[in-house]
């Protein structure tokens, strides 16, 4: 029987950026904050993947060619934009054409090995917290207002990572870098 891993492709910000993102954590009842080590920008969630598919996928991802770029980090908001909020996020600033090029090439690499991808719009962000049904709108609105001008230092994106994710009941997921891919033109 082949081994299956729950995988995703992401950008990993450097420790100073992770620290600034994690510093947004607040005493918001009903919020489950992501630990600093788990903060990342998902390029593509893949899901459960058998080992033989993973090997072909890694080969395809190694062929991605995008120049390194600087990614500004700023803004804070919630998903979904209407109705009860479920996710608190920090965004990325404008002018990130190469980020979208990278996402497109990652998708093309994954499609080349016959993976099925969801077609949701790409909304680049760092998930800061998951919001439960008990989160009160007023304290959440205050938190959003308090951090509306949030900016972290921009960081140079010189690689992207393939992560394995292990879900753990009652705990944040455990993420492990399976392989890092260096960006180059």
How many Cα atoms sit within 13 Å of 104 on the Cβ side?
Answer: 8
Q: Which of 44, 96, 103, 125 is catalytic?
A: 125
Residue whose tokens read 């392989």? 179
Is CATH 3.30.465.10 what the domain over 4-182 is classified as, yes or no? Answer: no
> What was the pLDDT predicted at 90?
97
Distance separating alpha carbons of residues 35 and 52, to the nearest angstrom = 31
**CB distance 185 to 24 below 8 Å:** no
Q: Is 125 a catalytic residue?
A: yes
- Using one digit for the tens of pLDDT, what is the confidence trace for 6-63? 999 999 999 999 999 999 998 899 999 999 999 999 999 999 999 999 999 999 999 9
pTM of the model: 0.93
Whether the predicted pLDDT of 93 surpasses 90 = no
Domain boundaries, the chain: 4-182
Distance separating alpha carbons of residues 65 and 75, to the nearest angstrom = 28
Phi, psi of 138 (to 5 degrees): -65, -50
Tell me the CA distances in angstroms from 129 to 35, 109, 158, one per residue in order: 9, 30, 26
Using 50, 70 and 90 to split pLDDT, how confident is the model at 2? Answer: low
Whether the predicted pLDDT of 106 surpasses 70 = yes
> What was the pLDDT predicted at 7?
97
Question: CB neighbours of 155 closer than 8 A, spacing ≥ 6?
Answer: 13, 14, 17, 70, 71, 73
Residue in 45, 49, 48, 51 with CA at minimum distance from that of residue 9: 45
Vertex 86: Cα angle to 89 and 116 (nearest 5): 85
Q: Which of 13, 17, 31, 40 is catalytic?
A: 40
Residue whose tokens read 């260096």? 182
- Using one digit for the tens of pLDDT, what is the confidence trace for 149-170? 999 999 999 999 999 999 888 8
Q: What is the mean pLDDT of the segment spanning 65-85?
A: 94
CB atoms inside a 10 Å sphere around CB 82: 6
Question: CB neighbours of 138 closer than 8 A, spacing ≥ 6?
Answer: none
């Amino acid at each position: 029987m082949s081994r299956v891993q729950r995988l995703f492709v992401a950008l990993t910000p450097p420790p100073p950026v992770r620290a600034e993102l994690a510093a947004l954590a607040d005493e918001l009842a009903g919020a489950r904050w992501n630990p600093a080590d788990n903060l990342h920008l998902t390029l593509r969630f893949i899901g459960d993947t058998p080992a033989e598919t993973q090997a072909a996928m890694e080969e395809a991802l190694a062929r991605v060619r995008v120049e390194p770029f600087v990614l500004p980090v700023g803004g804070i908001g919630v998903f979904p934009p209407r109705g009860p909020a479920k996710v608190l996020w920090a965004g990325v600033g404008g002018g990130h054409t190469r980020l979208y090029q990278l996402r497109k090439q990652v998708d093309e690499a994954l499609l080349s090995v016959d993976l099925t991808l969801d077609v949701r719009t790409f909304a680049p962000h760092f998930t800061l917290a998951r919001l439960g049904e008990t989160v009160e709108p007023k304290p959440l609105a205050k938190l959003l207002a308090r951090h509306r001008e949030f900016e972290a230092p921009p960081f140079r994106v010189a690689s992207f990572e393939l992560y394995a994710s292990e879900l753990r009941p009652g705990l944040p997921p455990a993420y492990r870098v399976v392989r890092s891919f260096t960006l180059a033109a």
